[in-house]
Structure 1
């Protein structure tokens, strides 16, 4: 399995990492687990932002996974390029999550854009 595929594997867990953090910071321990989404709707501060980062991470993951798979399957991109853009994507997402939780909106948007550029670069490399 290539490093880029491992990046897809890592990216798959990022939303759940955000959810775990949101629940921990939001005081979910000991709460009724019958309706955890309702609990998340009523969180504030870091917990609310971590939940939003979770949602965004779920939204962007399919495009990233598709880009990595397509870049591998077409054979048009070098393995070094696929690896570079995949690792940069994961790093940008980790930074994005941190910046989102810490409420650094402008930097967060820049980090999000880096992740989007990585996805676009993978598709372009595949062409």
Structure 2
């Protein structure tokens, strides 16, 4: 397996991992984790909990673009350091993005988002060459 495939698996797992701080915030919300109506409970979150929700949702949104980039690059026969570097850049950017979102570092978070999105688009561009 290539590094890009490992990164694809890691990114898929990050969808679940970004749910952990959200679930923790929901459990501390006052009435415990509401598994019957989690979206209603999430809508009431503020501060850290609201940021955890937004971070989790954004990971769900970012994953398909990254997955498409990796799959396009692999299907086109791309190999080498660009494929590896862009895939790793996405995963690292998403870890930084999540940490910045939870810590309320909005400017740094935006930079991390641009890096991650750029890496996804870069993977798609690899398919052209």
TM-score of the pair, normalised by structure 2? 0.90
SS of equivalent to 2:35: coil
User: Is 83-92 or 36-45 further displaced after alignment?
Assistant: 36-45
> Residue in 2 aligned with 1:80?
81
Q: State the alpha-carbon separation in 1 of the partners of residues 110 and 8 from structure 2.
A: 21
Tell me which of 38, 44, 54 is aligned to 1:52: 54
> Residue in 1 aligned with 2:39?
37
> Residue in 2 aligned with 1:67?
69
The answer to whether the 8 A contact 1:23-1:40 is kept is no
Q: Does 1:103 align with 2:104?
A: yes
Q: State the alpha-carbon separation in 1 of the partners of residues 94 and 36 from structure 2.
A: 30
> Residue in 2 aligned with 1:21?
21
Q: Deviations over 1:6-41 (max 9, x none)?
A: 111111121222222112133168433111111111
Q: State the alpha-carbon separation in 1 of the partners of residues 22 and 34 from structure 2.
A: 16
Q: What is the aligned residue count?
A: 126
Consecutive unaligned residues in structure 2, runs of 5 or more: none
Q: CA RMSD in A?
A: 1.5
